[in-house]
Structure formats: C-alpha cells, structure tokens
Amino acid sequence: MVASAPLLSFREPADHPELDPLATFTVRRTGGRDDVVLRDELAGRAQLRAYRVSPQRLTELTGDPLGVAARLLSDVENLGRQRERLTDGSSRTDTQKQALQGRIAAALPRAQAWQKTYDPASKTPLNLAKLGVFNVQSVEVYRENASSALVAGVVEMGDVVPGQGYVQRTRQTFAVFLDNKGGTWQVTRWQLSPRQGAGPLDR
C-alpha cells in the first residue's frame, strides 16, 4: 500500500459538519479500470463529476462518455434537489424562500437543455416543471467502445403535488445512450423506466 498527498480537498460543511460532503460511485470501465463519480453539494448545488484516478491526481473526465452522462444527471438532479428543499417541511424565511426560487430558476434551463434528447417512448414521463426529487443512487458504464456507450443506473425520483407536503418517490432505471461524433461524445437519447425488482444495477 502506497500513500500519496491528498488528491482533492474540500471544506467542511458549516451547517452539518458531521456529514461527508461527497458521495462517491466507483465505476468499472472497459479494461478493468475503476473511475469515480463524486457528488459535491458544498457550492449550493448538487454537482456530479467523473474523475480518472491515478496515484498522483484526480483528472476530471470531460470528453468521456461517463463525464458527459454525469453532467446530464447532475443538471437534472440539481433541479430536483433545489425544488425538494421547498417541500421538505423546513421553516424558512421569505428571503430564504426567494433564494431557493432563484436557484430553481437558474437550474431549470440547464436541465431543460437535456429534455430534447429524452426518449418520448420512455415508460416514465419526465416533467421538469414538476420534478421534486431526482437522486442518483448508482452509476455504471454498461457498455462502451470507440463509437458508442451506454451509461445506466438507478435514480429515486418524484413530482411535486400541489398541496402535498412531501414528494412521493419511485425508483427508476436510467439509461443514457451516447455516440462519439467526430471525436466528441454526445447524448443521442436517454430514458427512465420503473424498477422491476432487484437487478445488477442495484449493487
């Protein structure tokens, strides 16, 4: 076992110092390498980012199918998490509520940018105007080669219902299909479908 200097450093959350500011998914890639997806919520918005790990550094994967899929999931998850805070029953001042509304307004266009590639044949409809929960629970690169890739996993999601003080949640399988077009990885379509019991993506 070889120790190295810290690869990344994050400040401790001031409001909940007992909480780990990061959630990590280890993702096995073709050839046996393990990359990681980190969720960073310290900047006021949920951000999912994919990294390649080496003994000396973490390198963010931007031009990579996992990195592109992580940006999609990050933008949709952030919208759900900001809206969820308005329905979680917490007592907030008018100023705090206005700040949350501002974050929702900023998050909505980023999520809407991915709406155009959402598969209309998906078994689960996606209504970003009502989305109140979208929590990514697992991520896998299910298939990849030089020209195409499939990133899949599990999310917990639900819509806001007017007059209801909580969001009813369901577990869904997500699938993000990507193609390499001229050296650039792009999402061609993505979809959600209800979970049908335990499966390999639950691990």
- pLDDT value, residue 22: 57
Does position 163 have pLDDT exceeding 90, yes or no? no
For the chain, the straight-line distance linking the first and the last C-alpha, in angstroms and rounded, comes to 26
Question: What is the chain's mean pLDDT, rounded?
Answer: 83
For the segment 93-148, what is each residue's pLDDT rounded down to a tens digit?
Answer: 888 888 888 999 999 999 999 999 999 999 999 999 999 899 999 999 999 999 99
Q: Which residues contact 66 (CB under 8 A, 6 or more apart)?
A: 27, 29, 35, 37, 50, 139, 141, 149, 151
For the segment 4-32, what is each residue's pLDDT rounded down to a tens digit?
Answer: 556 555 555 444 443 345 567 899 998 88
pLDDT class for 160, splitting at 50, 70, 90?
confident
Compute the half-sphere exposure of residue 163: CA atoms within 13 Å on the CB side of its CA. 0
pTM of the model: 0.84
Residue type for position 114:
W
